[in-house]
């Protein structure tokens, strides 16, 4: 597994972040979870309260020979509004903040350089936090692969699907994963 790397990204609701990154070639796995807080083993309810300090995140496992950390960050900037503090759309609170949690100094440098390069594309200042990844806590099972498992749910229809369409991302990989899981 040494040929795999991870990126932990917060860009609003983790269902959306997971659905976006699952579409990218070179992404091996995406896991919804929590990071950036002080609470050990947080629950969804604790994170939603805003008191845990954690953000909803996606832990993206990727093959760096197919897609680089820089390319993942390009999708990150395109997939949300990094200029709104603690908010994405109607999701409000510190748990929905924009953040890049780096695992080493190389990721930190790349994230800072990427943020600086992205800034001219936005009318307002980017408020994305760039912080060390101290811990990642997987979210509860019912949050994993949410879009794939709930494509007809209102949130998926009115929030996630339009986001994928705006980004020009196909749902083929999601459907492919669904067919794969059914046959396994």
Q: How far are the Cα atoms of 32, 157, 180 from residue 139, in angstroms, in the given order?
A: 6, 22, 22
**Buried residues in 25-59 as b, exposed as e (16+ CB within 10 A):** eebeebbbbbbbbeeeebebebbeeeebbbbbbbb
Contact 46, 93 (CB under 8 A): no
Q: How far are the Cα atoms of 37, 52, 61, 137 from residue 41, in angstroms, in the given order?
A: 10, 10, 21, 6
Distance CA 64, CA 161 (A): 27
Taking only Cα atoms into account, the Rg of the chain, rounded to an integer number of angstroms, comes to: 15
Which sequence positions are flagged as catalytic? Answer: 13
Distance CA 17, CA 151 (A): 15
- The secondary structure of the chain in percent helix, strand, coil, rounded to multiples of 5, reads 40, 20, 35
């Amino acid at each position: 597994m040494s040929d795999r790397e991870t990126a932990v990204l917060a860009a609003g609701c983790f269902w959306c972040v997971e659905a976006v990154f699952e579409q990218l070639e070179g992404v091996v796995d995406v896991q919804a979870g929590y990071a950036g807080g002080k609470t050990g083993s947080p629950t969804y309810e604790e994170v939603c309260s805003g008191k845990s300090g954690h953000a909803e995140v996606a832990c993206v496992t990727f093959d760096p020979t197919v897609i680089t950390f820089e390319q993942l960050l390009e999708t990150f900037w395109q997939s949300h509004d990094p200029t709104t503090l603690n908010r994405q759309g109607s999701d409000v609170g510190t748990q929905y903040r924009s953040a890049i949690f780096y695992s080493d100094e190389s990721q930190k440098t790349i994230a800072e350089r990427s943020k600086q390069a992205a800034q001219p594309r936005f009318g307002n200042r980017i408020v994305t936090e760039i912080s060390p990844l101290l811990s990642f806590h997987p979210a509860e099972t019912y949050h994993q692969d949410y879009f794939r498992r709930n494509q007809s749910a209102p949130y998926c229809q009115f929030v996630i699907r339009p986001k994928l369409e705006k980004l020009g991302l196909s749902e083929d990989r999601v459907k492919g994963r669904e067919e794969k899981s059914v046959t396994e």
